Amino acid sequence: MKNISIFLLGLFLVLSCQEKTVDTDSLRTESSTKVNYASSLDTGKGIINNANSPHAKLKSIDIGDCRWTEGFWAEKWKIAEEVMIPHMGTILKGDIGHGYNNFKIAAGIQEGEHKGFWWHDGDFYKWMEASTYIYAINKDEKIVAELDEIIEVIAKAQQKDGYLSTPIIIRDDLEPFTNRRYHELYNSGHLMTAACIHNRVTGKTNFLDIAVKHADYLYDLFSPKSDHLKRFGFNQTQIMGLVELYRTTKDKRYLELAEQFINMRGTYKIEDDETTKGYPIGDMVQERVALREETEAVGHAVLALYYYAGAADVYAETGEKALIDALDRLWENVTLKKMYVTGAVGQTHYGRSSRLDKIEEGFIDEYMMPNMTAYNETCANICNSMFNHRMLTLSGNSKHVDIMELVLHNSGLSGISLDGTHYYYSNPLRKIEGALDYDKMNVEFPERQPYLQCFCCPPNLVRTIAQSPGWAYSKSENGISVNLYGGNKLETNLLDGTVIKLKQETDYPWNGTVKITIEECKDSPYELLLRIPEWAKGTKVTVNNQSVDNIIPGNFAKIERKWTAGDIILLDMPMETKFVEGHPRIEEVRNQVAVKRGPVVYCIESADLPSQTDITSVYLSSNKMLVPTNRPDFLGGVTTLEGEILIRKDKLEGMYREVSAPIFEKYKTNLIPYYAWSNRGQGEMTVFLPVIWGQ
C-alpha cells in the first residue's frame, strides 16, 4: 500500500507538471527569464562551443576549420564518410535497426510497435550528429536534405508539451518519468547535442526548435525539484546537452538545469522505489556520494564518464572550485588506478563496487584489471576521450590529450571492423577459445557483429571519427595548440580574429616525424603549443632548422615568436618499440608485458601463430628485437612488429605442477595493432604476454 501511495503521488506530480498547473515562472530567478533564442543565437561553431566560456583555457576551433588530408586519420575519416555512416544509416532507417521507424510510429505516419531498447532514440541522434560532421567537411547537400526529412518526422513525433521519447509515446501503458530505466534523459541529452551541432553547421533552426521545446519541458518538469524526480537523470548526457543548448541560445535556464542534475545526485535515500524498479541503484548510477565529495570512479563506466564530462562543461561556465577539484580527483582515480593500457575503462560486465553495490558494465576495485573478461564497452572508452577532451580545455594540460590519443588509436577504433561494417560492444585484452560461454552473455560475441541489439556504441564511435578534425587543434589565449598529429590542413581565426593557416604532413602514428608549415598568419608574435607525448622521450623540435630548447615529454612545447608564411616546424618523436608493465598490484599481468610503439598498443593473434597454438603458450624474449615493418596492403595499411617469439611446448595438465625447466620453440611472426584484431575470422588474441628475461 505504501508503494502504491508513493506511485500515485509521483504520478500526480508528473501530470501536474505536464499540464503546467505548477507556477514554474515564480520559481525562476530573474536571470532565468525565458528568452527568444532565435534573436540571440551564439555564432560559435565549435564541437564544444566554449568560445565564451569564462573558465576554459583552450577554446574550440570551428567545425570544418580542420580537415584530414592524408595518412591514418584521413583514411579513417574517408571510411566513415563513404562506408560507416551510410551503412549505419541503412541499418537505423530500416527494419533491422528500426530507429527511424520508431519516430515514424510515434509521429502517427506508420503503424507498428516500438522496437529496441529504451535508449534507442539517443543512438539515432548520434548517427544524425555524425552525418552533420561529415557534411561540415564535404558539403554534400544530400546529407542536409535527408536530415531535414528526418527532422520533420521527429517534430511530428514530439508531443505538444515538448516531451519526446518514442517508447513512452508509442506505448499506451506507460507514463513519462515514472521509471528511470526508461532512459528518457539519455535520449534528451543526445537530442540537444545533435540539434546544437546541426544548427552550428547548417545554420538552420528546424532541429534546434525541437530541442528548445523539449528543454523548456524539462525545465518546467524539474524546476520544482520534487522528491519523485530527483533520481532521474542518472545517464547524464542531458547535462552536456543542456550546457551546449545554453551556449547556443544564451538561455541561462538550461545551464541552471544542467547544474541541478549534478546537485541532485547523492541527496536522497538509496533504496528501491517505484522509480527504480528494474534498474540497479547506488554506486551503479553514481548516486551514493555527491559528486563534489566523491573520491573514486564507481559504477557503470559510461554513466560515470558522461557525468564527469557534463560536470566539466558546467565548470567551464561557473568556475566552481569544488567541481574541478572533484573532477581532478576522479581523473586521477580513473587514469592511474582503473584504466587499461589501451585507454579502455569499465573492468567488468557484472560485479560490485568498492562499497559493495551491484554494478554492471563498469568500474570495480582499484588495480583489479582482468584481461579476458575485461568489459571495456566501446562507449565507455569513447566517453573517456570525451571527458579528457573537456579537461584539456579547462586545464590546458597535455596529459589529457595523451589519453584522448591513446583511446583514439586503440580501444576506440577496436570497436569497429576495418571495413566499417561490423562491431564489438566490449573490448577485452585477451581472448581464449572456449573460455567464455557467449550464449549466456547478452552483448558479448566471439567475433564482430553486423548489428548489435544494444546499438549505442557504433554511432558513438563513428561520430567520434567524424568529429576528430575538431579535436586536432585548440585556440589558446594568443595562438594555437596542436593536439593531435596527422596529415591535415587548418584554416581558422585566432581569438583576436586574425587568420591562421597551417599544413601538417606526417605518417603518424607509424612514423614520429611531423612537418608543420605556416601558410598564413598575423604579423605580430603569437604562440604555437606543440604536444610532446609522455612516451616521446628524446623528441627534437626545430623551427626553420633552428633547434628549440626545453622540450619536455608530457607537456606542450611553447614556441612564441613572430611567424611568417613559409616557416617550417619539424618534430622528430622517437618511435621506439617498448615493453610496458603494469603496476605490481595488477595481479593478472605480473611478469607480463604489453608492447607499445608510439601511441599504438600491439597484440598477437592466432592468425599469426602455428595452427592449434594456444595463445597462453606464447612468450616474449627480452633479448629479441621486434622490428617495425610498414605493410600498406595488410589490415588496411599498418606497421607491424616483426620478430622472434617463444612458444612453450611442454603442456600443463591439471591445475598445478612442480616447476620444471620450460621447453620453448622459436617462431618468427608479427604483432599487429590492437585496434586491428578480429578482422581475419575467429581466433585467439592477447595484449599482455609473459616475458622471458635473458633469452
Question: How much of the chain exceeds pLDDT 90, in percent?
Answer: 83
pLDDT at 226: 82
pLDDT at 29: 37
Query: What is the residue-wise DSSP string for 51-113?
Result: TT-TT-SSEEPBTTSEEEEESHHHHHHHHIIIIIHHHHHHHHTSTTT-HHHHHHHHHTSS---
pLDDT at 441: 64
pLDDT at 447: 86
CA angle (256, 260, 263) in 5-degree steps: 140
Most confident of 30-34, 200-204, 355-359, 447-451: 200-204
d(CA 315, CA 237): 16
Secondary structure of residue 271 in the 3-state scheme: coil
* Sequence-separated (6 or more) residues with CB below 8 Å from residue 570: 513, 514, 515, 516, 541, 542
CA angle (239, 382, 69) in 5-degree steps: 115
pLDDT at 660: 86
* 316, 56 Cβ separation under 8 angstroms: yes
Query: What is the residue-wise DSSP string for 487-515?
Result: EEEEEEE-TTS-EEEEEEEE-TTT--EEE
Domain regions of the chain by residue span: 2-431+441-470, 472-572, 577-692
Q: Which three cell numbers stand for residue 572?
A: 622528430
pLDDT at 6: 37
Secondary structure of residue 352 in the 3-state scheme: strand
Confidence of residue 30 (pLDDT cuts 50, 70, 90): very low
Confidence of residue 443 (pLDDT cuts 50, 70, 90): low
> Is the per-residue pLDDT at 578 higher than 60?
yes
pLDDT digits (tens, 9 = 90+) for 63-111: 999 999 999 999 999 999 999 999 999 999 999 999 999 999 999 999 9
> Is the per-residue pLDDT at 436 higher than 80?
no
CA distance readout (Å), 610 to 363, 411, 641, 649: 36, 27, 17, 12
Q: Quick one: residue 589, left, alpha or beta (phi over 0 = left, psi -120 to 50 = alpha)?
A: alpha
User: What CATH number is given for 2-431+441-470 in this structure?
Assistant: 1.50.10.20
pTM of the model: 0.93
pLDDT at 90: 96
* Sequence-separated (6 or more) residues with CB below 8 Å from residue 660: 650
Q: What is the dihedral of CA 283, 288, 293, 295, to 10 degrees?
A: -20
Angle between helices 237-249 and 301-318 (to 10 degrees): 30
pLDDT at 14: 38
Which of 551-583 are b and which e, b meaning 16 or more Cβ less than 10 Å from the residue's Cβ? bebebbbebeeebeeebebebebebebeeeebe
pLDDT at 22: 30
Confidence of residue 435 (pLDDT cuts 50, 70, 90): confident
> Is the per-residue pLDDT at 20 higher than 60?
no
Pairing between β-strand 568-572 and β-strand 577-580 as defined by DSSP bridges: unpaired
Mean pLDDT over all residues of the chain? Answer: 92
* 366, 296 Cβ separation under 8 angstroms: yes
pLDDT at 370: 96
The top-level CATH class assigned to 472-572 is mainly beta
How far does the chain reach from its first CA to its final CA, in angstroms? Answer: 72
Least confident window among 20-24, 234-238, 327-331, 653-657:
20-24
397: closest CA among 304, 489, 490, 332? 332
